[in-house]
Amino acid sequence: MSSSSKHAETMCIHAGKTYDRQFGSLATPLYQTSTFVFDSAEQGAARFAGETEGYIYTRLGNPTTRELELKVAALEGMADGAATATGMGAVAAATLAFLQQGDHLIASHAIYGCSFALFNHQFARYGIEVSFVDMTDHAAVEAARRPNTRMLFAETPINPNLVVLDLEFLGRFCRQHQIKSVIDNTFLTPLLQQPARYGIDIIIHSATKYLNGHGDVVAGIILSDAETIQTIKLTTLKDMGATISPHDAWLIIRGLKTLSVRMERHCQNAQRVAEFLQAHPAVATVYYPGLPGHPGHRFIGTQMKAAGGVLAFELKGSLDDGRYFINQCELLSLAVSLGDAESLIQHPASMTHSPYSAEERRLAGISDGLIRISVGLEHVDDIIADLQQALVKMQLQQK
């Protein structure tokens, strides 16, 4: 039975796994080594020349890291993967491997703040042009294309306002015009969405988030066909050095074993929290694709299996009211990131998306009053109770 024919829950545990034949270890061995010993000078030369398989140096490959790459690739329906030191390492390595001076990138208006900073601030230094567009407007995407357009980059759902993009359209558009497509699938994981089904060329994750799931790793991963991954590994990843630590790879492998049960609870809890907030008189708007009124709700059951564990909302009140509310939360931790066991709450405009100017945030649909919650694995009644007491305190403060 091939790994591709197994259920995702099984692949989270077994895909990519190579059992230790010497000692019979059930758990994946941690190869915590910087370099690997050759049997002879001839063997070392052959490995460097690519004539024989084998490990050389952990920046170039490591058995523990390799299991992680193959496991997530199998989950995403891709042939291969490249693990990186951070999620931004994945974004940078995947884009810069295929862009050069004079090329043009189309990117979504709203993306993670550091992805935006890389494209908007750093790429200009290297002569790479970037157009930021509203990718829910298909005509705007078409209009942004230029003769030198080489790549399209987007997230869906979008961080932080949970806008859902049509992957079928984006995949078709990129194939039609021979544009390399890159989708950040961090928010949903391969269990809830597989962009490769829609012809997306490259998928990236901040493995810091749901793939690890325990808030004790920073890492990223790139998934694609074998040739694309080889190009990334032999160029930007090797030469810029954003490769993952074997120990971090080992922690993510361990985290992946519970990904399916964690995502089920994250989604259940987030749905309940979104419904609570939508019904609360102090809340103006809730952004969560699991709610029937959300424009992205139509993609659930087709493009997306579920809405994920992140939601955003706006309060009826000022920015100061929002800050006061956040400060009153006791169970929810005031911290950036997402996908942890703990529920996390943060203010995107002043935190994760602070690289945007006020006008850039306006164009991206990121209001100053937007609050984002990564709904954790606590009992949902306790999460709601904490939000309720904070909202009551805010309402009293407003009087």
Pairwise CA distance, residues 69 & 67, whole Å = 5
- Mean pLDDT is lowest, of 33-42, 93-102, 347-356, for 347-356
Residue-wise pLDDT for 202-253, tens only, equals: 999 999 999 999 999 999 999 999 999 999 999 999 999 999 999 999 999 9
* pLDDT of the residue at 3: 54
Q: Is the pLDDT of residue 378 over 50?
A: yes
Is 151 within 8 Å of 103 (Cβ atoms)?
yes
Same structural domain, 389 and 244:
no
Same structural domain, 145 and 134:
yes
- Domain presence at residue 334: yes
Pairwise CA distance, residues 186 & 373, whole Å = 15
Is 207 within 8 Å of 87 (Cβ atoms)?
yes
Same structural domain, 357 and 373:
yes
Pairwise CA distance, residues 146 & 320, whole Å = 43
Active site residues per annotation: 59, 112, 184, 209
What residues pair up with 191 in beta bridges, in sequence order? Answer: none
**In the Cβ-directed half-sphere of 128, how many Cα atoms lie within 13 Å?**
21
Which of these, 229, 225, 245, lies nearest to 237 by C-alpha position?
A: 229
Same structural domain, 209 and 306:
no
Same structural domain, 129 and 250:
yes
Q: What total number of domains does the chain contain?
A: 2
Task: Please give the structure tokens belonging to residue 278.
Answer: 């939508």
- Domain presence at residue 55: no
Give the end of a domain, one of 256, 291, 315. Answer: 256
Under 8 Å CB-to-CB from 87, ≥6 apart: which residues? 112, 186, 204, 205, 206, 207, 208, 209, 218, 219, 220
- Domain presence at residue 41: no
Per-residue pLDDT averaged across 97-104, rounded? 98
* pLDDT of the residue at 267: 98
Binned at pLDDT 50, 70 and 90, residue 4 comes out as low
Axis crossing angle, helix 63-76 with helix 246-256, rounded to the nearest 10: 40
Same structural domain, 77 and 216:
yes
- Domain presence at residue 179: yes
Per-residue pLDDT averaged across 364-370, rounded? 78
Residue-wise pLDDT for 298-326, tens only, equals: 999 999 999 999 999 999 988 888 889 99
Pairwise CA distance, residues 286 & 315, whole Å = 9
CATH for 270:
3.90.1150.10
Per-residue pLDDT averaged across 384-388, rounded? 97
Same structural domain, 251 and 288:
no
Task: Please give the structure tokens belonging to residue 91.
Answer: 């974004």
Pairwise CA distance, residues 103 & 146, whole Å = 10
Q: Is the pLDDT of residue 365 over 80?
A: no
Same structural domain, 249 and 270:
no
Same structural domain, 276 and 343:
yes
* pLDDT of the residue at 351: 76
State the chain's mean pLDDT as an integer: 94
Same structural domain, 217 and 353:
no
Domain that holds residue 302: 259-398
353-362 contacts at long range (C-beta below 8 A, 24 or more positions apart): 353/112, 353/113, 353/116, 353/160, 354/113, 355/113, 355/114, 355/116, 355/117, 355/120, 355/121, 356/113, 356/116, 360/116, 360/120, 360/132
Q: Is the pLDDT of residue 1 over 50?
A: no
CATH for 88:
3.40.640.10
